[in-house]
Amino acid sequence: MKNTTSFSLFVIFFLFTKLSICQNSFSNDSINKYSKDNKKNGIWIEYLDRDWNEVKPEEKNNAYFFRYVFYDNGFRVTSTLKPDKHKIKKDTLLDIPNKPIVLNGKYAFYYKNGTPFCTVEYSNGLESGKQYYFNTKGVLINEYFYDRKWENNPYTFFVKEYNNKGEVKSSGFYYKWTSGWAVYAVKE
């Protein structure tokens, strides 16, 4: 009975893992496409080095990670997080170049003085959950809520901007309207 229970739990875990991995998978014919104006459009794979700097696709053998980003006729809709000189910290970082892994989990970046710069969350290569950005004194300045969508559009998210006193300065959904992609203020 014990072996049957263990085997059943293994099968459930295996199926759950496979389903969660496949949940955000995209067909190859829908990735890295150009619009009729020859601009990036739709879902694109972005390869990153160990410090999260973008790696050109032809140099992906130097990549450690990859994530999915969304373009709308050349305009990058998803986060433009580029850590620059900020240090990444993740307990389970793997150092395997030439075998990039999809970003999954929570990641934190710090200023040189040790103060948090931002924390980000990814699920199967897509930004998810919440992202927090701080100034050099550790005061929260921006929050991104990737689980809050404008009219169920998967490439929209909610943003809050704070002043130096920690009060909400502005908030709204980031989505495309008649004047283009921007944060449109809404009452909460």
Q: Closest Cα partner for 108 from 81, 147, 68, 76?
A: 81
pLDDT of residue 42: 92
The per-residue pLDDT string of the chain (188 residues; one tens digit each, 9 = 90 and over) reads 444 333 332 222 222 323 333 345 566 678 999 999 999 999 999 998 887 888 888 988 888 889 999 999 898 887 666 655 556 665 445 556 678 889 888 888 888 888 888 898 999 998 899 999 998 889 999 999 999 988 888 888 899 999 988 899 999 998 887 777 888 877 66
Residues 6+ apart with CB under 8 A from 112: 85, 87
Sign of the C-alpha dihedral computed for residues 174, 175, 180 and 185 taken in this order: negative
Domain boundary assignment for the chain: 2-185
Instruction: Say how many C-beta atoms besides its own lie within 10 A of residue 121's C-beta.
Output: 19
Bridge pairing between strands 105-110 and 87-89: antiparallel
